[in-house]
Structure 1
Amino acid sequence: MVDQGSAADVMYPDLYKGLGLTQEDLTTYTSPLVSFEGRLVTPMGLIRLPVQSGTEVVEVDFIVVDVYSPYTAILGRPWLHTLKAVSSTLHQKVKYPSEDQVLEIVGDQTVARRCQVAAIRHRPEAETSATADNDS
């Protein structure tokens, strides 16, 4: 997900584990973040990885968090600024300069909607347990 409102580039567990990364790959990062549910989240750490967009490769500092997300990562303002990109949520596109041309990354509206629905439907286990206890 590209989020021009995010001041951080964030990586979630599915991608972290899928890349075969371990706790030893992380550097310390303890500044808390706020999750989609509005809870404070203490990051697992920070990792710098190359991200390829077309022919451009930029180094991105990802804050790794172990919380649920329908996304594998959020690319925010730090990535956008490094790539010198402009994003449009309306058009689901990111455009950026590359040598003598302007390249674009096109989003998928269907996938974006599915992720949004998944995020809305997701109820953290603690909330689910509390709700189940109250319904009894």
Structure 2
Amino acid sequence: MTSSAAKTIARIPQSKSPYKPGNILPITFSDCDLVGNPDLHHDSLVISMQVGTSNVRIILVDGDSVVNLIMLDVLKAMKINEDQITKKSSVLVGFSGETRNMLGKIYLHTYAEGVASYERFGILDCLSSYNVFLGRPWIHNVIVVPSNYNQCIKIPTD
């Protein structure tokens, strides 16, 4: 990691959600949260946010995924040092039974809606419509409540 990248990460507030068992805050969605006309879309929940030291677009929030994934091309565009990558091949099995080999894993900071976290990402080298897949590990760690219908996420924060 470069010294400028380390300084940027150090400036990211490391706040956590105040949610703890026994301190449950109600989160609701209403018509004012709707983005566009819900009758005209059946879209996936796609967001943009800071990953590492870069603002990344076209991130799929996928509550059915058991891993967070990032594409190798995205890491190259972020100019991530290969020393940060733990090389270990693993096999992912998709919904339709197809398999993909992960190249390894990397830990990166994420920052969304005032909440920062440190997440593990599997690295894939393949063509994809999405740059990053955020699965249940990120959703549970940050305590995100995603709504495909409203096309937004909510995070309990102060």
User: Is this a same-fold pair by TM over 0.5?
Assistant: yes
Higher-strand-fraction structure: 2
1:15 to 55, 59, 74: 74
Q: Determine if contact 1:47/1:63 at 8 Å carries over to the other structure.
A: yes
TM-score, normalising length: structure 1: 0.66
Residue 81 of structure 1 pairs with residue 136 of structure 2: no
Q: Which has the higher contact order (CA 8 A, sep 6+)?
A: 2
The residue that corresponds to 2:154 in the other structure is: 95
Higher-helix-fraction structure: 1
Q: Determine if contact 2:113/2:155 at 8 Å carries over to the other structure.
A: no
Across the aligned residues of Structure 1 and Structure 2, the Cα RMSD in angstroms comes to 1.8
TM-score, normalising length: structure 2: 0.57
Runs (4+) of structure 1 moved beyond 3 Å? 35-38
CA pair 36-52 structure 1, distance change in 2 beyond 3 A = same
The residue that corresponds to 1:31 in the other structure is: 90
Unaligned runs of 5+ residues in structure 2 are 1-59
Give the whole-Å Cα distance in 2 for the aligned partners of 1:68 and 1:37.
17
Q: Alignment identity in percent? A: 29
Q: Determine if contact 1:29/1:63 at 8 Å carries over to the other structure.
A: no
Unaligned runs of 5+ residues in structure 1 are 100-136
The AA in structure 1 aligned to 2:152 is K
